[in-house]
């Protein structure tokens, strides 16, 4: 693989941060940035000028990860030339599917040829997509190919997210990258580090990703009770107090973030499905444990690899970023410590992370995790 990386802080031009300028052939160009900056039409044109024959994917974020740094109010570019393998990009807009995430997932899966398909990486709109349903669609007839990726962000505003493929980014877009090639080695992992507390409760009424009742009581009322004074800051304060969800028939609990609340209906909308009969418990943060979670994710991702990773794509949750605050770069440093300095690092802070549990290929939607996908040729 060959790489070029650029960084643009608001009010400045794109700056090369790679050791030297090299010309890449038909690179995959990943552009992650602040939503307001990406809304400027000039940005896509600037990227196209830098990489005229590049396949350009753009996504808005809740923070940009490049090398060992985390930025706000910036745009990062990581361009990758695959020398021994291939990739294929497909896109669709969920607004054309009446916001049916399963349908758009099935559609995207059909567009990617299955022969020699090694891995799928998803960059999705994050404002209103049901990530669990999207995964169901993507895996409808394919459970042999692992899927990782993330839901794009908009800092802590939750107003709208933007994604684009070879065009100006817009709302509703979902992009799937299929990777092909015998020489590719791709591993992945996710880990949280949050601490459960309080009583376990049963979901007694829900619909998709909308939670109505816990133990036959209004879920929002119960949640507000535990938040105390922080309830006045909902839904932003919910990022600091996610929910541990254990579904029937599944061994591992997953974490769900609350994206929105409806005071009139007394409901909470989460980033993914919350099936009735599942057990839930509130969670809280310890900064050291969250940093340790990033280290554990990297260790899992490196387990049983045959080669050192050349590229590491990180998708971490906005909730982790808000909790860690000035210490946020510690989790990136923990990852680099494990995977090695040789790997080029890129990624973003998200509204949801996509990755299987360790030892599985079936993908799950996670919140509040550090997720990494490691590539080498």
pLDDT tens-place string over residues 175-230: 999 999 999 999 999 999 888 888 999 999 999 999 999 999 999 999 999 888 98
Q: What would the mean pLDDT of 246-260 be, rounded to a whole number? A: 87
Q: Is residue 298 predicted with pLDDT exceeding 90?
A: yes
The whole-number pLDDT of residue 320 equals 93
d(C-alpha 184, C-alpha 369), whole Å: 25
pTM of the complete model = 0.92
Could you give the CA distance from residue 31 to residue 366 in angstroms, rounded to a whole number? 22
- List the Cα angle 242/177/338 in 5-degree steps: 60
Least confident of 21-30, 75-84, 238-247, 335-344: 238-247
Give the pLDDT confidence score for residue 373 in this predicted structure.
Answer: 98
Given phi > 0 = left and psi -120 to 50 = alpha, else beta, which region is 26?
left
Domains, the chain, ordered by start: 2-191+288-376 (no CATH), 195-284 (2.40.10)
Question: Cα dist. 154→33, 62, 149 in Å?
Answer: 9, 5, 16
Is 142 a residue whose pLDDT tops 90?
Answer: no
What pLDDT shows up at residue 235? Answer: 77
Q: pLDDT tier at 239 (50, 70, 90 boundaries)?
A: confident
pLDDT band, residue 170 (cuts 50/70/90): very high
Confidence of residue 38 (pLDDT cuts 50, 70, 90): very high
Confidence of residue 259 (pLDDT cuts 50, 70, 90): confident
The answer, yes or no, to whether residue 154 has pLDDT greater than 90, is: yes
**Mean pLDDT, rounded, for 87-111:** 97
Choice among 45-59, 260-274, 320-334 with the minimum mean pLDDT: 260-274
Average pLDDT over residues 161-172: 98
User: On the CB side of 79, how many CA atoms lie within 13 Å of its CA?
Assistant: 23
At residue 143, does pLDDT exceed 80?
no
Rounded to the nearest integer, the mean pLDDT of the chain is 94
Supply the pLDDT for residue 272: 84
Whether 42 has a pLDDT exceeding 80, the answer reads: yes
CB 350 within 8 A of CB 126: yes
What's the CA gap between 175 and 153, in Å, rounded?
15
């Amino acid at each position: 693989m060959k790489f070029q990386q650029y960084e643009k802080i608001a009010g400045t031009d794109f700056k090369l941060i790679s050791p030297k300028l090299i010309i890449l052939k038909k690179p995959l160009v990943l552009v992650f940035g602040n939503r307001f900056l990406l809304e400027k039409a000039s940005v896509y044109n600037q990227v196209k000028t830098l990489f005229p024959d590049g396949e350009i994917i753009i996504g808005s974020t809740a923070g940009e990860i490049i090398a060992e740094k985390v930025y706000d109010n910036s745009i990062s570019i990581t361009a990758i030339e695959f020398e021994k393998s291939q990739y294929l990009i497909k896109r669709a807009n969920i607004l054309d599917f009446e916001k049916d995430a399963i349908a758009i997932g099935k559609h995207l899966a059909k567009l990617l040829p299955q022969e020699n398909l090694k891995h799928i990486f998803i960059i999705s709109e994050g404002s209103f997509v049901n990530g669990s349903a999207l995964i169901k669609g993507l895996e409808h007839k394919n459970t042999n190919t692992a899927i990782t990726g993330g839901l794009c962000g908009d800092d802590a505003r939750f107003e709208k997210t933007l994604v684009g493929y070879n065009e100006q980014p817009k709302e509703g877009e979902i992009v799937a990258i299929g990777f092909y090639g015998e020489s590719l080695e791709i591993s992945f992992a996710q880990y949280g580090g949050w601490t459960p507390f309080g009583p376990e409760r049963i979901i007694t009424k829900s619909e998709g990703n909308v939670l109505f009742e816990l133990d036959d009581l209004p879920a929002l009322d119960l949640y507000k009770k535990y938040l105390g004074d922080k309830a006045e800051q909902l839904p932003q304060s919910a990022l600091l107090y996610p929910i541990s969800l254990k579904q029937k028939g599944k061994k591992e609990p997953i974490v769900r973030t609350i994206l929105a609340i409806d005071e009139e209906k007394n409901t909470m909308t989460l980033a993914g499905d919350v099936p009735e009969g599942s057990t839930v418990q509130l969670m809280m943060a310890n900064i050291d444990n969250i940093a340790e979670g990033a280290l554990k994710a990297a260790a899992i991702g490196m387990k049983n690899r045959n080669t050192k990773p050349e590229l590491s794509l990180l998708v971490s949750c906005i909730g982790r970023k808000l909790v860690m605050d000035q210490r946020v770069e510690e989790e990136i440093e923990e990852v680099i410590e494990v995977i090695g300095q040789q790997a080029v690092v890129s990624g973003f802070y998200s509204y949801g992370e996509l990755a299987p549990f360790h030892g599985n290929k079936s993908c799950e939607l996670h919140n509040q995790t550090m997720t990494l996908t490691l590539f080498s040729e």
